[in-house]
Amino acid sequence: MSFDRRDFLKASAGAAGAVSLGTLSGCASTATVGGAMPKIVVVGAGFGGATFTRYMKLWTPGVEITVIEPNAQFVSCPTSNEVLAGLSQMQDITRPYDNIKKIADRWVADTVVAIDPDKRTVKTAGGQTFAYDRLILAGGIEILFDKVEGYDAEAQKTVMHAWKAGPQTATLRKQLEAMPDGGVFVMSVPRAPYRCPPGPYERACLVSFYFKQAKPRSKVIVLDGNEDIASKKGLFLAAWKKHYGYGTDKSMIDYRPNNMPRSVNARTMMVGTEFDDVKGDVINVVPPMRAAEICGMAGVRDASNGTWCTIDFTTFESKVVPNVHVLGDSTLTNFPKSGSVANNTAKMCAYGLSEIFAGRQPDPAPVVTNTCYSASTNSTAFHVATVYRWDAKTKSMVPPKNANGVSKEESELELAYMRSWKENVLNDTLAL
């Protein structure tokens, strides 16, 4: 039995890494653009960019791929909240780029500073210019500090968002460790859409777990810019009540909806909302966000007042700039902005381009999957899983009417699944 690309995408969506990739080499085709092999520039090597590079070269080895990535190592945002709780270390969410570097034709450790979609060129801070036939933008998100008064460069030295896993994650962990017992951790949730919808509520769980063990008189104040818990509401509320006394006068979590931070004072450690000022011993404000800065350079931020990027779901090509494809968090879709979606849609983009380069049409009825786990304690977790299918009538990707891919309750088994999922998706993304 053999797999074609569509079969593989369906299989890999359910279990990343479960299918042997060696059997798929026959899918490769000889691709030409004006008699030459297509040149692809990939900007960003996160879950989207790295996955795309791997599968594009797997399915169409003849293409020439240049990857531009400033970071020396891959650091996973999924499960980074466990570092804040002391359940994991930074090395547990860090992986090397070694194998992706070998797969790419050229690896450029630099930052993109300019994109010319008319000339089809990309320029880096180091002064190099790269021409492309197709440009893949996988830069994630841009955090809008200017939307929160006082969140300037000086404030950013002490007020962490930690919404891009890396040094900020480690710094926020140290701040929590240094906080006195009885102290207050003030954290915020930006208005949707934002990267990882359940992430802030998981953060509230895991920081509370740490406090329960090490600083039992401490509290977590959650300032949510949304009207209500934006993801897995029933599961998070159940966990908060069961483990952290939510709903009682001994609750470790003080949840405040409709409380978007308007200002930050790093000197007084105060977060201002339209209702009041909230003081914390550690403050963790996550500002609003939009499509990555490179999307602005390419002119593909065309939706929601220039915030996100609209795309063609068969190839993830921008609807406003030809030959530019946008992956992951930067797109305007009804998918969660998650590592799982970035990994899955990167394969779809690679498949679509491999079909185009071979002179065929991509599948007109795409399918996108998302799986997202959240830990509630050091031993329990829960998940949501959704399959989005193309609806020709509405010309949109729609989830099933009776979605049932949500855990009934937290469990230790779900945590084991979460650990396995993390390893599988990282191995799949980075060819480990």
pLDDT per residue over 232-258, tens digit each? 999 999 999 999 999 999 999 999 999
**What percentage of the chain exceeds 70 in pLDDT?**
91
- Please give the average per-residue pLDDT across 46-73, as a whole number: 97
For 101, other C-beta atoms within 10 Å of its C-beta total 16
- For residue 204, CA distances in Å to 207, 289, 419 come to 5, 20, 20
pTM: 0.91
The alpha carbons of the chain give a radius of gyration, in whole angstroms, of 22
Task: Please give the residue range of the domain that contains residue 229.
Answer: 148-284
Predicted confidence (pLDDT) per residue in 361-420, tens digit:
999 999 999 999 999 999 999 999 999 999 999 989 999 887 668 999 999 999 999 999
User: Left, alpha or beta for 303 (phi > 0: left; psi -120 to 50: alpha)?
Assistant: beta
Q: Are 219 and 130 members of one domain?
A: no
- Enumerate residues 6+ apart whose C-beta is below 8 A from 168: 160, 161, 162
> What would the pLDDT profile of 288-333 be if each residue is shown by its tens digit?
999 999 999 999 999 878 899 999 999 999 999 999 999 999 999 9
Domain for residue 396, yes or no?
A: no
Contact 330, 291 (CB under 8 A): yes
3-state secondary structure at position 389:
strand
Of 381, 409, 385, which is closest to residue 205 (Cα–Cα)?
Answer: 381
Residues near 35 by Cβ (< 8 Å), separated by ≥ 6?
none
Structure tokens at 153: 């460069």
| pLDDT, averaged across the chain | 92
Last residue of a domain, one of 262, 284, 306: 284
Is the predicted pLDDT of residue 15 greater than 50, yes or no?
no
CA dist 386 and 428 (Å) reads 20
Residue 254 lies in a domain: yes
- Same domain (yes/no): 154, 136: no
**Residue 214 domain flag:** yes
Query: Do 293 and 268 share a domain, yes or no?
Result: no
CATH number of the domain encompassing residue 330: 3.50.50.60
Say whether pLDDT at 33 is over 60. no
Cis (ω within 30 of 0) for the bond into 288? no
Asked whether residue 106 falls in the same domain as residue 190, the answer is no
